[in-house]
Chains A and B, each alone.
Chain A
Amino acid sequence: MAITQLSLFLMNQPGQLVDAVGAISDTGANLRAMSIAEANDFGILRIIVSDTDKVCDILKEKFLINRTSVVAARMDDRSGALLPILAALNDNNINIEYMYAFTGTGPEEAYVVLRVQDAETAESVLHASGIETLSDENLSL
């Protein structure tokens, strides 16, 4: 299970992000979620797309790209919904490196993307607490 996040190494200069997003757009894939981490000289663009393999194949010609397994946990789009997810991980001593969220395709549905050391373990912990997670196949919706 788990989903595949693509990370792109971008220089911290004008034009880099528009190039990357333009390239994703050209593949026809849907950009479901994104987040950027920035340092002085460069940034890391992390994306979740509808057709990971295709996007990765096309983008790797032009960009330094990396695939990482991350957990996308489903939650209701309402106050307090994130808490049980974090509590379940915390109870099992699982550290979160970074996270970001996106809304789902269904009504009042949202997802939180969690980058942890071991996606598989984190996922089983969440499942045991009755929390659903996405797999790559669900992303093309």
Chain B
Amino acid sequence: MSRYYQPEIETAPREKILEIQNEKIVRQVRHVWDNVPYYRHLMEEKGVTPEDIHGVEDIHKLPFLSKADLRDAYPYGLLGTDLKNCVRIHSTSGTTGKRVVAFYTQHDIDLWEDCTARAIVAAGGTDEDVVQVCYGYGLFTGGSGLHGGSHKVGCLTLPMSSGNTDRQIQFMMDLGATILCCTPSYAAYIGESLAEQGYKPEDNKLKAGIFGAEPWTEEMRRDIEKKLGIKAYDIYGLTETSGPGVSYECEEQAGMHINEDHFYAEIIDPDTGEVLPEGEKGELVFTSLDKEAFPLLRYRTRDICVLSRRPCSCGRTHVRMSKPMGRSDDMLIIRGVNVFPSQIETVLLKEGYTPNYQIVLDRERNNDTFDVYVEVSTDQFSDLMSQIQRMEKSLEAALRTMLGIGPKVHLVAPKTITRSEGKAVRVIDRRKLHD
């Protein structure tokens, strides 16, 4: 079996890729203009029509789409085809108004699964492999994205979904899983659990892991590789563009190849919106070149990274993106879940607290720790320890309900939360993910 899933496109000369992109963008802009009134209106406001777009060199003329647009347009505003042509939705992990619903036609799913199949083959996958998918299945794109790609490659697919680590380990060992797909923090956790159960790295049959959906460091990669005795590959994607597989690592482990026949990537200055030259750090912007149901043009990911077109020794010609080095807005990714500080504020106000809080993120045994310090007010303070501890527990429960993950709440005295220049420091992130 080949080292590539679709060699003719994955290793196509740059001119060929450009030719495909030019042809697709002209068609895609016309498709959006004709079918997505929301975006057509944005184009009209900017004075752009499909006639102005002759190829990717004209993409900079198009208006941006942001997360706010996706919320405004929820649920059908950015739909690019009749609902009867759609076969599935996926949704972001966000809650309370931050949720984004993306639609897929069968064609969209086919192309998406091609992308994840490329990632699996790049990680050494063939039809001899046993792929254990422990990303969540359901609204989250991780599970079904890798699942579909695994089918395309012809691997035996174990649709485990997330959680139940003892069962994960049992299937992994009994069925000889060779490729593991999950979040990097879960991979590290599985590694630790294997060791606790007395397994050595060479006892499992794993050879590779495809890990994504949350930020992780090189240090963490080496740790996972050692614990599991595998090579760990990064994969990137977002629900807005399809899901995992927008880009993926090859054996060089030196940046993720963007599937440029489906996605056009730009790096912009997040403040001015100006397109930056190759090699400069800025916000990553994606244009879906051939999606039918959810055809986003110039979607601002908020991820800060760098693109490189230097040739890769793996033979793939598609541009590589660095790991995201941060986010241009205040969204936090904690244990793979998107958390906005504003959500925490909402809960505090609802539960009768002042919105004076501080989020502290750290790493312990490769897992995120999530602590929220909250100032107690006079109304809530009691001489009874049991009552204060009940308040802490009930606030933890309310935050867990809102965020989907549970922080540890610490009640602190009023005016004790650090303020710099009069402004409270809301987030202290000690995870050092972007070294």
Query: How many angstroms between the C-alpha atoms of A97 and B413 in the bound complex?
Result: 23
Segment of B4-12, B178-186, B378-386 in the binding face: B378-386
Chain B 407-422 per-residue mask, 1 if CB under 8 angstroms from chain A, else 0: 0001111101000000
Give the A-B pair count, Cβ closer than 8 A. 46
Interface size class of B (residues with CB under 8 A): 10 to 19
Query: How many angstroms between the C-alpha atoms of A98 and B382 in the bound complex?
Result: 13
From A11, A39, A115, B413 is in contact (CB under 8 Å) with: A11
From B381, B386, B389, A9 is in contact (CB under 8 Å) with: B381
CB nearest neighbor in B for A68: B383
Instruction: State whether A44 and B385 are in contact (beta carbons under 8 Å apart), knowing that A63-B413, A64-B413 are contacts in the complex.
Output: yes
Q: In the complex, are the beta carbons of A41 and B412 less than 8 A apart?
A: yes
Q: In the complex, are the beta carbons of B381 and A7 less than 8 A apart?
A: yes
Q: In the complex, are the beta carbons of B416 and A11 less than 8 A apart?
A: yes
CB nearest neighbor in B for A6: B383
Chain A 31-42 per-residue mask, 1 if CB under 8 angstroms from chain B, else 0: 000000101111
Q: Closest approach, in angstroms, between the C-beta of A70 and any C-beta of chain B? A: 9
From A37, A46, A64, A68, B378 is in contact (CB under 8 Å) with: A64
Interface of A is mostly: strand
Query: How many angstroms between the C-alpha atoms of A41 and B413 in the bound complex?
Result: 10
A52 on interface, CB distance cutoff 8 Å: no
CB contacts under 8 Å to A, within B347-393, are 376-378, 381-386, 388-389
From A5, A10, A37, A65, B385 is in contact (CB under 8 Å) with: A37
Interface size class of A (residues with CB under 8 A): 20 to 34
> Which residues of B have CB within 8 Å of A44?
383, 385, 388
A66 on interface, CB distance cutoff 8 Å: yes
Q: Closest approach, in angstroms, between the C-beta of A122 and any C-beta of chain B? A: 16
Chain B 383-405 per-residue mask, 1 if CB under 8 angstroms from chain A, else 0: 11110110000000000000000
> Which residues of B have CB within 8 Å of A5?
383
Q: In the complex, are the beta carbons of B388 and A46 less than 8 A apart?
A: no
Query: How many angstroms between the C-alpha atoms of A55 and B412 in the bound complex?
Result: 22
From A11, A40, A41, A46, B383 is in contact (CB under 8 Å) with: A46
From B377, B386, B412, A11 is in contact (CB under 8 Å) with: B412
From A5, A7, A46, A66, name the one whose CB has the most chain B CB atoms within 10 angstroms: A66
CB nearest neighbor in B for A66: B381
CB nearest neighbor in A for B416: A11
Query: How many angstroms between the C-alpha atoms of A94 and B284 in the bound complex?
Result: 66
A residues with a Cβ closer than 8 A to B are 5, 7, 9-11, 37, 39-42, 44, 46, 63-66, 68, 97-98, 115
CB-based closest 7 A-B pairs: A7-B383, A37-B385, A68-B383, A41-B410, A66-B381, A64-B381, A9-B413
B residues with a Cβ closer than 8 A to A are 376-378, 381-386, 388-389, 410-414, 416
Known contacts A7-B381, A41-B411, then 12 further A-B pairs from the complex at CB < 8 Å, ordered by chain A residue: A7-B382, A9-B413, A11-B412, A11-B413, A37-B385, A39-B385, A42-B412, A42-B413, A63-B413, A66-B383, A97-B386, A115-B384
